[in-house]
Amino acid sequence: MPARPKRRALSPEARREAILAAALDEFTARGYEGARLDDVAKRAGVAKGTIYLYFADKETLFQDLVRSLVHPVLGMLEKTRDVDIPARMLVEGLLNTFVREIYGTRRKDIIRLILNEGSRFPAIAEFYYREVVARVIAIVRPIMARAAERGELPNDSLARFPQLIIAPMLVGIMWHALFDKFEPLDVPALVRAHIGILFGSAK
Amino acid sequence: MPARPKRRALSPEARREAILAAALDEFTARGYEGARLDDVAKRAGVAKGTIYLYFADKETLFQDLVRSLVHPVLGMLEKTRDVDIPARMLVEGLLNTFVREIYGTRRKDIIRLILNEGSRFPAIAEFYYREVVARVIAIVRPIMARAAERGELPNDSLARFPQLIIAPMLVGIMWHALFDKFEPLDVPALVRAHIGILFGSAK
DNA sequence: GATATATGACTGACCAGTCAGTCATAATAC
DNA sequence: GTATTATGACTGACTGGTCAGTCATATATC
């Protein structure tokens, strides 16, 4: 039990994590431009110069932050590839995972950060599109098309517009950030209602 | 045809409009923090000091900009109040208006600005919630509830979560700003597909 | 004591907001 | 109608403060 952590008590990896965690807090609270590296440093318990030992500059810090939080999700995605399951099961799995692993965690803040700052960071937008959005669509689309052929779905709308599947989740994230204090939104219930509309209410 | 516009060629109102138009461009392109008033002035063909003759400060300029673009929509809303029409007709009208008057105009940039900066401008978020979001919900909810009772809708999901109605539009706006260059999205078709899912495809 | 790591005072660029001065136009005088 | 004076909208150089990024120095580690 180290009574008081001496300097350099943390491993380089742990220090990097501490800086990323602090950066998440600051970027989330103030946006990219508004976040100050002095505050990130203070929050991470580190001097400002130390940040520059781990990250080239503010933009790299931001991009590495996004990547570090998006990466684990890519692993989950891999598991869902090349499966042949009923459409409803896929969508329920996808949305439940989303509620649990993204809406229920700090990752929702990353989604918001990407949506908010993405147009000013083409590299981030492209990275996210290529690594996440395109992959999810590539998984979902053929399964929805098959479901439409089989008559599990009344038509091919979801195959043509897989965006319709996650749209309510994104709105849930935005609502939570902007309007929850005026009118709280029960996002898990929202998602259940959404699934009911897409596939007909379960009995 | 004035060969070269003399000083004070514009009416005060026109000058105010010019500044707001320039501000829309700059805030849209760079976000609130990123926008520089020097650039707004240059774009409006005005000296920086002039901006301060019309607006108290940067924040006021931003808020007045949002209000000036949201205001006309409030008028449209009024016309939709206290009607008793079939749910499908209301939703189609609402979404078509959205596509035409918001997605098809610069107003979509205002929506994005509100979604992006709203959490850092509680005044804006509250204004937008109270003046727009809450009103739309107040109009839509009873009509959806009635439709559910009448059997026009299979259940009361849309009455409980009117957010499900506009969610695809918001995703359309975001997609357009972030991912359209990688994979274009046909938003009017998206909306038609969405209506088909909500109410069953029209024959 | 040599190397690796960390610090935080410092620098320079940047930018919101200011204000003394300008000048086109309006008002008044003749 | 012309000259003189007054007005205030407009200008842009300037100021004060902020903050990303640097680097000489300090501290830990072996």
> Which of A126, A141, A164 is the best mutation test for B, with the most CBs of B within 10 A?
A164
* DSSP string over B28-90: HHHHHHH--HHHHHHHHTS-HHHHHHH-SSHHHHHHHHHHHHHHHHHHHHHHTTT----HHHH
Residue-level pLDDT at A5: 40
- In the predicted model, what is the mean pLDDT of residues B47-60? 93
Which nucleotide lies at the shortest CA–C1' distance from A39?
Answer: D19
Residue-level pLDDT at A202: 55
CB contact under 8 A, B177 and A130: no
- The gap between B192 CA and D5 C1' (Å) is 68
Residue of B nearest to A196 (CA): B157
DSSP A130: I
Q: CB distance from B188 to chain A under 8 Å?
A: no
Q: Enumerate helices (H) and strands (E) in chain A, giving the number of each.
A: 11, 0
Tokens of B89: 């007709």
CB contact under 8 A, B163 and A182: no
- B4 contact to strand C (CB, 7 A limit): no
- The answer to whether residues B149 and A145 touch, using CB atoms and an 8 Å cutoff, is no
Which nucleotide lies at the shortest CA–C1' distance from B39?
Answer: C15
Among the residue ranges A11-15, A65-69, B154-158, B197-201, the one predicted with the least confidence is A11-15
Which nucleotide lies at the shortest CA–C1' distance from B7?
Answer: C24
- The answer to whether residues A57 and A65 touch, using CB atoms and an 8 Å cutoff, is no
pLDDT in tens, B56-107: 999 999 999 999 999 888 888 777 777 788 999 999 999 999 999 999 999 9
Q: Is the pLDDT at B9 greater than 60, yes or no? A: no
Q: CB distance from B182 to chain A under 8 Å?
A: yes
- The gap between B22 CA and D19 C1' (Å) is 27
Tell me which protein residue sits closest to nucleotide D27, measuring alpha carbon to C1': A7
DSSP B119: G
Q: Which of B67, B64, B66 is nearest to B112 (CA)?
A: B66
Distance from CA of A44 to the nearest CA of B (A): 23
Profile chain A (203 residues) by mean pLDDT over runs of 10 residues: 43 87 95 94 94 95 93 82 85 95 94 93 92 92 93 93 98 97 98 95 56
- The gap between A39 CA and C18 C1' (Å) is 30
Residue-level pLDDT at B130: 93
DSSP A5: P
CB contact under 8 A, A179 and B33: no
The DSSP H or E segment spanning A188 is helix A187-199
Helix extents (H) in A57-133: 58-79, 87-97, 107-117, 122-128
Measured between CB atoms, which of B115, B134, B179 is closest to A133?
Answer: B179
Tell me which protein residue sits closest to nucleotide D9, measuring alpha carbon to C1': B8
The CA-based angle A68-B117-B38, given to 5 degrees, is 110
* DSSP string over B137-182: HHHHHHHHHHHHHHTSSSSSHHHH-THHHHHHHHHHHHHHHHTTTT
pTM for this model (two decimals): 0.90
Residue-level pLDDT at B13: 78
Residue-level pLDDT at A51: 95
- The gap between A34 CA and C9 C1' (Å) is 23
- B49 contact to strand D (CB, 7 A limit): yes
Residues in chain A: 203
Give the Cα separation of A36 and B186 in Å (integer): 39
